[in-house]
Amino acid sequence: MDVRIAIWSATHRIGLLNDPSVWLGTIERLGAVWIVLAVGVGLVQRRGARGTFVLALLTALATFVADSLALGAKDLVSRPRPFEAHPQIHPLYAVHSSSFPAGHAATAFAGAVLLSYAAPRVTPAFLALAAAIAWSRVYDGVHYPTDVLAGAALGALVGVAAAAGLQLLERRSWRGVRLSSAERRNVRSAA
């Protein structure tokens, strides 16, 4: 089923979606879109320079860890890309590493999960963007669906760990500040 979906997706493309699909992969390189979104969340929530910097730095770290873990797994699994194994698949661009798991999906879901903790009201948009980035990898002909699912799961786990780290940092930073728990929740969910 995995192969059939990959082949069908890459051989039934809609021309108008080709450039946006490649663009989704471009904005995701090393989690760049999530770092920019983290800065936006920090500014909208008025976290201040320090709080915004910490959120952006933690987002960068989460996406870097997710990407590093995905690259390590790729070396262990060494699964050929769909276009290498199936000549009817013509990728929208060239990729030279192995296929499993999808690094873009890992970084996308690491960023989406962490930012969903920081700005829960925006969770649907974060998850929709992560899912679009992940699916674009299959559409582009460079990953199988299971590559994307494994990358998304890996990234989500990293995102949960990063959210726990952010929660710990927030608790520590509130110690010297006299805010009620309701006020602290409002600061975190102001997006």
**Residue 72 domain-assigned (yes or no):** yes
Count, residues in the chain = 191
Q: Which amino acid is at 152?
A: A
Cβ–Cβ < 8 Å for 95, 183: no
Show pLDDT as tens, one digit a residue, over the chain (191 residues): 877 877 777 887 778 887 777 778 777 777 789 999 999 998 888 888 888 888 899 999 999 999 999 989 988 888 888 887 778 877 777 777 887 898 889 999 999 999 999 999 999 999 999 999 999 888 888 888 999 999 999 999 999 999 998 888 877 765 444 444 555 565 555 54
pLDDT value at residue 153: 97
Q: Is the dihedral of CA 92, 61, 122, 160 positive or negative?
A: positive
**Residue 96 domain-assigned (yes or no):** yes
First-residue to last-residue Cα distance in the chain = 40
**Residue 1 domain-assigned (yes or no):** no
Instruction: Provide the number of structural domains found in the chain.
Output: 1
Give the count of alpha carbons within 13 A of 76, CB side only: 7
| Residues sharing a CB contact under 8 Å with residue 161, sequence separation 6 or more, in sequence order | 62
The full DSSP string for 12-72 is: S--HHHHHHHHHHHHHTGGGHHHHHHHHHHHHHTT-HHHHHHHHHHHHHHHHHHHHHHHHH
User: What is the torsion angle, in degrees rounded to the nearest 10, for the CA atoms of residue 44, residue 45, residue 46 and residue 52?
Assistant: -90
Of 138, 150, 139, the C-alpha closest to 73 is: 150
Q: What span, in angstroms and rounded, lies between the C-alpha atoms of 84 and 141? A: 10
**Residue 4 domain-assigned (yes or no):** no
**Residue 44 domain-assigned (yes or no):** yes
Residues 119-155 pLDDT 10s: 999 999 999 999 999 998 888 888 889 999 999 999 9
pLDDT value at residue 133: 92
List the CATH number of the domain containing 126. Answer: 1.10.606.20
- Owning domain of residue 119: 17-188
The full DSSP string for 103-132 is: HHHHHHHHHHHHHHHH-GGGHHHHHHHHHH
Q: What percent of the chain has pLDDT over 70?
A: 90
**Residue 178 domain-assigned (yes or no):** yes
**Residue 8 domain-assigned (yes or no):** no
pTM for the full predicted model? 0.82
